[in-house]
Amino acid sequence: MARQVNKLSARTVQTLKEPGRYSDGQGLYLFVDENQAKRWRFHFQWRGKRREMGLGSALNVSLAEAREAAERCRKMVAQGVDPIAARTRQAGVPTLADFAESYIAEREAGWRGKNTASGWRRAFTLHAKAIGGIAVDRIDTEAVLKVLKPIWKTKAETAGKLRDRLEQVLDAAAVKGYRTGENPARWRGHLQHILPKRDKLTRGHMAAMPYAGVPAFMASLTAREGFSARALEWTILTASREDMTLSARWGDIQGEVWVIPAARMKSFKDHRVPLTPQCLAVLDLVRLHPKPDDFLFPGPKGKLSDAAMDKLMKGTGYTVHGFRSSFRDWAGDCTDHPREVAEAALAHAVGDDVERAYRRGDALEKRRLLMQAWADFTRPPDRPAAPEGSPQG
């Protein structure tokens, strides 16, 4: 018995309201979503896999036009031509990598974090590299899973950010008319049924070392050579973020205070960090007749790379950013210093706008006492001399 074709009528297409998929025959379908929006899709087999190709909205494409488009696609398949690839070449649909770069370039001026754009670019040039050459209208669930699955359990935070960024980029591609249909990177109602929930996974790069283990780690760290080790030591002693340390310059050091300019802070306010004798000892180890604009911890291409300190954490199960949590837990459990002082040490805003308006100081001297106690806990002041051959750090 031959398959029925031309099942739909123009009247049916116009009046259908119930969400679902309605076949017209020979691979042509009308999809009606929950908002009663209607779109045409052509289903076909290509090299053993089921493919779907969007043919446009039913508002703009009539039933007759959809049938004509589906017939052209069927002929291409019969001739050994992928209709999706053919349309991509003809329409100039960009690849995922190219479209992601244009998306980032259009938005980076409005992003607050200095490293936000580099993080976005790293997501697509590193973690999504395997699918970067695929046109955005051909990115499907299989492609998304190809880059998410390898890191979903081992780098949960990175994987979560990658999924979110893929979803945003693919949404933007749909808005610009480069793709149709559901977003394959969507979590709710889609990937949540394929990948395990992230709250069942490790927290990835945010995992914090228990503060009781920090002194032993610091002891092993001070025995290591290189600017990466000194940078990580400095980061722990000052409870600072990685990017704050990597961007630190000698001109920021004012006596026994490290002044981080507002342009490098999330709060867009200068942040002062009291320097303990242990911090000053680190500076002595890395002092190589510096100029004010020189980085405290230089790398081969200027400053150290984002991965420099992360490599030192390999195999520990913990991360650099987690030391801020180690510090905060220690301050709350082991000291009587006020919560506000500990939060100020982390450059966190405390209280509402009115409270902050009345408390205009930054409690520098109170924080100096707290940071000294932290430094004495993590690394006693009688540290050994730098290892032989160390580049003064």
* pLDDT for 126 beyond 60: yes
Please indicate, yes or no, if residue 389 is contained in any of the structural domains. Answer: no
> In the β-sheet with 49-57, what is the strand arrangement from edge to edge?
20-25, 28-32, 38-46, 49-57
Which pLDDT does position 90 carry in this prediction? Answer: 67
Domain count of the fold of the chain: 3
**243 and 370 share a domain?**
yes
Residue 57 to residue 66: CA distance in whole angstroms: 10
Write phi, then psi, for 74 (nearest 5 degrees).
-60, -40
pLDDT band at 355 (very low <50, low <70, confident <90, very high): very low
* pLDDT for 393 beyond 80: no
Give pLDDT tens digits for 264-307: 776 667 889 999 999 999 999 988 777 888 899 988 877 888 78
Q: Using DSSP, state whether 41 is helix, strand or coil.
A: strand
Residue 64: CATH number of its domain: 3.30.160.390
Please indicate, yes or no, if residue 1 is contained in any of the structural domains. Answer: no
Please indicate, yes or no, if residue 129 is contained in any of the structural domains. Answer: yes
Please indicate, yes or no, if residue 338 is contained in any of the structural domains. Answer: yes
Which pLDDT does position 283 carry in this prediction? Answer: 92
Please indicate, yes or no, if residue 219 is contained in any of the structural domains. Answer: yes
The rounded mean pLDDT for the chain is 84
**101 and 87 share a domain?**
no
Which pLDDT does position 384 carry in this prediction? Answer: 46
* Structural tokens at position 390: 């160390």
Over residues 342-369, the mean pLDDT reads 68
Under 8 Å CB-to-CB from 176, ≥6 apart: which residues?
Answer: none
| Residue range of the domain that includes 101 | 96-202
Please give the residue that has the higher pLDDT: either 356 or 36. Answer: 36
**30 and 126 share a domain?**
no
Please indicate, yes or no, if residue 383 is contained in any of the structural domains. Answer: no
Domain boundary among 42, 75, 91: 91
Over residues 23-30, the mean pLDDT reads 92
Which pLDDT does position 287 carry in this prediction? Answer: 86
Q: Which of 284, 281, 293 is closest to 249 using CA atoms?
A: 293
Indicate yes or no: pTM above 0.85.
no
**234 and 352 share a domain?**
yes
